[in-house]
Amino acid sequence: MTARLLAFASTGRAMLWAACGGLLAAMPGCSRCTPQASGPATVSDTGAEAARSLTGPSAPDRATEAGTHAAARRASTPACLAGAAFDPSEDAAVLEVMRTAEVVRISRGSGGGTLGFKVTLTGGQRAYFKPDQSPARGHAHGEISAFHLDRLLGLCRASPVTGRRLPVALLRSAAPNHEQLKLLKIDADGLVRGALIAWIEGDLRPLGVVPEWLACLRAPAAPARSPFKGFDVRESTPCEPPPDHLLDALHDLVVFDYLIANVDRWSAAKTNLLALSDTGPLLLFDHGEAFWRAHFVVRNERQLDFVGAPRPALASRLMNLDLKSLRLRLADDPLAPVLDAHLLEGLRLRLAALRARAATPRAGTEI
């Protein structure tokens, strides 16, 4: 499955890039998708000055620095758990292309509550650019940090993400007169910070999650009321487990969302519960509303209460998670520092809470 998801050539020319907008637009019944109102813009549409701004960093010592950080990433990345979707050994090449290749084509994305852009890079590689926006939603830092934590825990279910800056003139050319343009956070040099998300190869679709699957996650002391928005899971709901590794993946997803304080996962439309087939693998997708300023989020607390302790395979990873390794990986991002001291402290507190639960696991059969 990993080879089918990331069929990257050694030169990087076969890489495909991903995020919600374009792929979700093709899904029937997607409530978060809207038709694209504007056509794509080429770099020439925005003038020579904007075009020059699109070129990625090219410092003479970049190769040496990148090699050092790549070695650190490999040393801090454990083996992937069962049900993985991505091969971490491909990450360095993927990130390098996304950070350095020029943008040659851009168009407005089609879904979600924030403005996003489909991007084509030199060589034909594609990506999805999610710019920082006001009010507090669409955080680039959430997308970037979630990706690196996914790798540090060995989940391997999040598409590679890097920070990038693009000219606001280019974004305006792709979405002229769009009402959300006024929400973009523009630097003094006319550039907009954002997350560039790798395009996933395959036919993304909402996973067919049903209340009976979620009922299998219920801990003995779970609250009676369903904590999953859009899913009516009652005490009387029978447990009918999903195929393959999906139950483990759903359990890990709840724990992961608690760790990153992600508030935008569950809805009746299932647009953030995506997979490449009806049997998975389940992807960790859309983290623009993660890492809120509040250290703890009530809805995440309730979801964690429902599933109880992290399952043993993930619990051991949480026990060994070194936040210094996360800081090292984030320091390599073009938008560093990605997380400020307040957000890092919230992460530390949530990790401590998960470790406390893992130390007293729930009774019953391991999943």
Beta bridge partners of 282: 275
Ordered domains of the chain (ranges, CATH): 2-198 (no CATH), 205-359 (1.10.1070)
Cβ atoms 108, 117 nearer than 8 A? yes
The per-residue pLDDT for range 199-247, each reduced to its tens digit, is 887 888 999 999 999 999 999 889 888 999 999 999 999 999 998 889 9
Q: What is the pLDDT of residue 111?
A: 65
Q: Encoding tokens for residue 308?
A: 């109880």
Q: What is the pLDDT of residue 123?
A: 84
- DSSP for 193-256 reads EEEEEEPPPS--EE----HHHHHTT--TT--SS--STT----TTPPP-PPSTTHHHHHHHHHHH
Q: Encoding tokens for residue 321?
A: 């998670």
Which range (13-22, 123-132, 144-153, 291-300) has the least confidence? 13-22
Q: What is the pLDDT of residue 77?
A: 80
Q: Encoding tokens for residue 92?
A: 């360095």
Q: What is the pLDDT of residue 69?
A: 53
Question: Is pLDDT larger for residue 267 or for residue 217?
Answer: 217
Q: What is the pLDDT of residue 23?
A: 35
Cβ-based burial of 14 (10 A; exposed 0-12, middle 13-18, buried ≥19): middle
Cβ atoms 265, 314 nearer than 8 A? no
Share of the chain above pLDDT 90, in %: 59
Q: What is the pLDDT of residue 68?
A: 52
Q: What is the pLDDT of residue 355?
A: 97
Mean pLDDT of 349-363: 84
Cα angle 145, 146, 151; round to 5: 100
The per-residue pLDDT for range 289-307, each reduced to its tens digit, is 999 888 999 999 999 999 9
Could you tell me the CA-to-CA distances from 27 to 22, 33, 39, 274, 350 in Å, in that order? 10, 9, 20, 11, 35
Mean pLDDT for all residues in the chain:
81
CA–CA distance, 81 with 282 (Å, rounded to integer): 12
Cβ atoms 104, 51 nearer than 8 A? no
Residue 41 clears pLDDT 70, i.e. is over it: no
The per-residue pLDDT for range 50-95, each reduced to its tens digit, is 434 444 444 444 445 555 555 555 556 899 999 999 999 999 999 9
Q: What is the pLDDT of residue 99?
A: 95
Q: What is the pLDDT of residue 42?
A: 54
Mean pLDDT of 329-339: 96
Cβ atoms 309, 218 nearer than 8 A? no
CA–CA distance, 109 with 86 (Å, rounded to integer): 24
Residue 135 preceded by cis peptide, ω within 30: yes
Q: What is the reported pTM?
A: 0.81
Q: What is the pLDDT of residue 361?
A: 56
CA–CA distance, 53 with 103 (Å, rounded to integer): 10
Residue 20 clears pLDDT 80, i.e. is over it: no
Q: Please give the sequence-ordered ranges of beta strands (E in DSSP) within the chain, or none if there are none.
A: 41-42, 103-108, 117-121, 126-131, 161-167, 191-198, 205-206, 274-275
CA–CA distance, 196 with 162 (Å, rounded to integer): 5
At residue 156 the predicted structure's pLDDT band, cuts being 50, 70 and 90, is very high
CA–CA distance, 218 with 237 (Å, rounded to integer): 10
